[in-house]
Amino acid sequence: MIAFETFNFEIFIIFDLIHFPLKSTIMNTTKITVEKTINADSKKVWDYWNQPEHITNWNFANYDWCCPKASNDLQVGGKLFTRMEATDGSFGFNFEGIYDEIVPQKKISYKITDGRNVTTTFENLGEKTKVTTVFDAENSNPIEMQRAGWQAILDNFKRYTENN
C-alpha cells in the first residue's frame, strides 16, 4: 500500500478493487450488483456500452482517470480490452475479459482474466434502459468498496450516454 500513498481514495478503488485483484483472492463466490436506469433507448445504450469510440469516454469512475484505448470483439470467445490510466500519466493498467454469452441489446457475460465472472443485462423500458451488472467479488477488499467503484463507472456511463 505504500506505493499508493500519493493517489487519492477514488483512484485506489479503481485500481485495486475493480481491475487488479490477484488470482489467489478469487475464492469468494459473493456476487455484487450495480444498476442504473439510463434515459436512452436500448439501442443507443447497447451501442455506447460496446463501441470502443464510446467506451473511451465513460469507462472510468472519476476525472482523475481516463480510458485512452479500448477494443471490443463482441462475440462469444471475443475479447474486451480497455486501458485505464491516471490523467497525470503516473499509472495505468489493462482490463481484459473473454465473452461467454452475447444476446444483442439484452445481455453480455464475460470472464475477466483474473477468473471472475461479469454479467451485464439491458432491460428495455421504452425510452429508458435499465443496466444491471453482476460481478464476482474478490476477497482482498470490502464488498462495499468494490460496489462503490463499479457503481461510479456505471454512473459515469449514464452521464456520458444521456449527454451525447
- The architecture in CATH of the region 2-162 reads 2-Layer Sandwich (3.30)
> Would you list the domain boundaries of the chain?
2-162
| Ordered per-residue pLDDT tens for the chain, 164 residues | 333 333 344 444 444 445 444 444 445 589 999 999 999 999 999 999 999 999 999 999 899 999 999 999 999 999 999 999 999 999 999 999 999 999 999 999 999 999 999 999 999 999 999 999 999 999 888 999 999 999 999 999 999 999 99
H or E element that contains 56? helix 52-58
Cell numbers representing residue 68 in the block: 485512452
DSSP class of residue 105 equals T
DSSP-assigned letters across all residues of 7-53:
S-HHHHIIIIIII---GGGTT---EEEEEEEESS-HHHHHHHHH-HH
Q: Supply the pTM of this predicted model.
A: 0.83
